[in-house]
């Protein structure tokens, strides 16, 4: 199981490395030029904040269940 995870991670890293070599950031430049990059950043931050809040809530529930048992 650990070998499969390691293999998948290495393949993913290789894919990411090749994607960065190929080319530029035309889409990022276009978004920045149009001012839409702020919308993208706001959406990413909202998703990240939601995940963090979910994890905090889940941790509190788990702690409460551990105290009960």
The domain locations on the chain are 24-69
- What is the per-residue pLDDT for 18? 65
Q: At what angle do helices 26-34 and 37-68 cross, to 10 degrees?
A: 100
Burial readout 2-11 (b: 16 or more C-beta within 10 A, e: otherwise): eeeeeeeeee
- What is the per-residue pLDDT for 48? 96
From first to last of its 69 residues, the chain has per-residue pLDDT tens of 777 888 888 888 887 776 554 555 687 788 788 888 889 899 999 999 999 999 999 999 999 999 998
- What is the per-residue pLDDT for 20? 53
Q: For residue 48, what are the CA distances in angstroms to 7, 10, 11, 31, 43?
A: 27, 25, 25, 21, 9
- What is the per-residue pLDDT for 52? 96
The tokens for 66 are: 């551990």
Q: What is the CA radius of gyration of the chain?
A: 20
């Amino acid at each position: 199981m650990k070998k499969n995870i390691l293999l998948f991670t290495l393949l993913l890293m290789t894919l990411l490395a090749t994607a960065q070599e190929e080319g530029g950031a035309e889409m990022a430049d276009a978004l920045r030029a149009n001012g839409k990059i702020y919308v993208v950043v706001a959406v990413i931050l909202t998703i990240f904040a939601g995940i963090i809040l979910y994890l905090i809530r889940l941790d509190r529930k788990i702690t409460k269940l551990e105290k009960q048992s």
